[in-house]
Structure 1
Amino acid sequence: MGILSFIKGQFIEIIEWLDNTNYTLVYRFPDDDHEIKNGAKLVCRENQAAILINEGQLADVFGPGTHTLSTQNLPILSRLKGWKYGFSSPFKVEIYFVNLRQYVDQKWGTANPVLIRDPEFSVGGRPGRVRIRAFGSYNFKISDPGTFFKEIVGTQGLTTTDSIAEYLKRQLVSKFTVAAGKSDLSVADMAAHYNVLETR
């Protein structure tokens, strides 16, 4: 192998991710410490987005399609790196793919009963206390990959639907507990007026 062939082989020319798992939500493209060739092809399949991270900062975000990586379509990265128009050298960034498909029928529930006041169980003029549990299902889909990456993923190399589902379950249970505690509804009325809890 000649030196030019070796150097050429060190640059990444095609960047893509084939997800065969259906549970990987965020995937870090393994660059093996190689630089990306200027003009490399970034392939985002249907229901995928790609995020470029430069030294910990969110740079450009790409949706489905085949994209040629150059200064013309890397405005944020070009600004962060201080590139002039027409910059053509190889460059180094972290690339994350985000799965944009909808995940349905995710289960949630309170692990322990929630203690609330109930006016129908009053004792001596004071509201009684009742223990309740709640459960249900929800769907989720990432609509803004950049915001999702900044606020939820951070610097994890790989994030699964299970880890996000656990996070969302904790959020739902926490919100339910607060809403149920603030509600003036009796336990009997909660099922018929759950829209009141949604606004709390």
Structure 2
Amino acid sequence: MEITSVIKYEGDNSTFIWKHPKEDFSTSSQLIVHESQEAIFFLNGQALDLFGPGRYTLQTANIPILQKIKNLPTNGVSPFHCEVYFINKVEQMAIRWGTDSKIQYIEPTYKFPLSIGANGEMSLRVQDAKKLLINLVGTERDLSQEKLVRYFRALLMTKIKTYIAQIMKTSAINIFEIDEHLLEFSKELKERLSPTFSNYGVILEHFFVTTIAKPDGDKQYEQFKDLYFRQYADITDAQIKQKTAVINAQTDAQKTIIESQAKATKRKQEGYTYQQERGFDIAQDVAKNEAVGQFTNMGVGLGTMAGVGGAIGGVVGGAVNGAISNTNEQTNNVPIKSPNGYCDVCGCPLPNGATFCDKCGAQIKENSKCKKCGYVFERLGQFCPKCGAKREI
């Protein structure tokens, strides 16, 4: 005959509640409760004590010596019924869940009827062992993960499907962007489902929506998806072209700025201005022409060209003046050997020995000199070709 018994947990870690098979044990039986566990002692159908981790000696009315005598009126069954339930309070993770049917709703962005499914994982932990045992377990010998999910399945399915449809509608979530909102779904569903589990003494520690099953393969959905992605691809191509054009424009502008800065640096180093550079360009064009008619076609007057020659310096100016002089000699056969060659006032070519300009009437003076360096001017100009001082006429 067994004098005392050792009562300890012998289940696995995927079980929430486990009833020890030993019943009606004797006084002084040893109860051992591990960490992350609790044990509830029942006597005569009543939950008397809740034991935390540790080793305990149980006091019952079942005295071993008198046990047979007391049990005779009840045909060997002890009238003092003892039971112990172990509650596993560790957080149980990776509990799978999934909708048992499709969620029917109208896609909020495109007003398209859709059917989707959802699944994921959750983790649960027992908070109130006595409440869970009395309200859900009753007289069953154990409560496994599978049983707990089965008990809550109908409630879970109803609320999950309703909540997902509501969230997608109120948040206007596009079906093609739904995977970006899995964390939002998970957080919202956890908040809404937690009170239901709490009523049974269970804490919903985590709730994850890991997959939204889209209606792939459905003909109408596939047509709509193809249209959406082709539209998206067109938009992407247009954006790429626009960005490329902006980059090219910026590159061209940068090139122009760099070239302008390089030219400005070159002009500064060589000692001439932008206006003088333009004069060089005009003189080069003039040098390519051989007759007055070509100057006229270019829209450039003889007097203007003479002025350009004086402004841009000796070499180019000489080429311009020489071209004009040669042209004048060819047309008028008048030798030009006046003191200055040109009128200092209007720039008109002067005939040999002229004392007055036959165009503007200005008196012809002897070759004028630069007031700064004394250089004798040989032709019309605005600046001294030797020192660069402004010429006073």
TM-score of the two chains, using structure 2 as the length reference = 0.37
Q: How far 1:181 moved relative to its partner?
A: 4.1
Quote the offset at 1:24 in angstroms. Answer: 3.3
Aligned to 1:36: 26
> Within 5 Å, which residues of 2 pair with 1:165-184?
165-183=149-167, 184=170
Instruction: Determine which of 72, 92, 99 is the counterpart of 1:103.
Output: 92
Please state how far the C-alpha of 1:113 moved relative to its aligned partner. Answer: 0.9
Q: Encode CA deviations 1:144-178: one digit per residue, 9 max, x unaligned.
A: 21111122211101222221233345443322122
Equivalent runs, 1:182-193 vs 2, <5 Å = 182-183=166-167, 184-188=170-174, 191-192=180-181, 193=184
Task: Summarize deviations over 1:98-126 as a string: whole Å, max 9, x none.
Answer: 2222221122111221112433233xxxx
Q: Please tell me the root mean square deviation across aligned C-alpha atoms, in Å.
A: 2.9
**Identity across the alignment (%):** 25
Is 1:157 aligned to 2:141, yes or no?
A: yes
SS at match of 1:101: coil
Q: Check conservation: 1:55, 1:93, Cα contact below 8 A.
A: yes
Alignment of 1:39-188 (within 5 A): 39-70=28-59, 91-122=80-111, 129-183=113-167, 184-188=170-174
Whole-Å Cα distance in 2 between the matches of residues 49 and 198 of structure 1? 26
CA distance in 2 between counterparts of 1:29 and 1:199 reads 35
Deviations 1:56-98 (A, max 9, x none): 4332211111122349xxxxxxxxxxxxxxxxxx953221112
CA contact (8 A) 1:50 1:98 kept: yes
Q: Equivalent residue for 1:26?
A: 17
Name the amino acid aligned to 1:160.
S
More strand by share: 1
Residue segments in structure 1 that go unaligned for 5+ positions in a row: 1-5, 72-89, 123-127
Contact 1:121 1:129 in 2 (8 A): no
Between the two proteins, the alignment pairs up a number of residues equal to 166
Give the aligned residue type for 2:157: V
Alignment equivalent of 1:17, drawn from 5, 9, 14: 9
Q: 1:59 to 1:178 in 2, by over 3 A?
A: farther
SS in 1 for 2:140: coil
Highest CA radius of gyration, 1 or 2?
A: 2
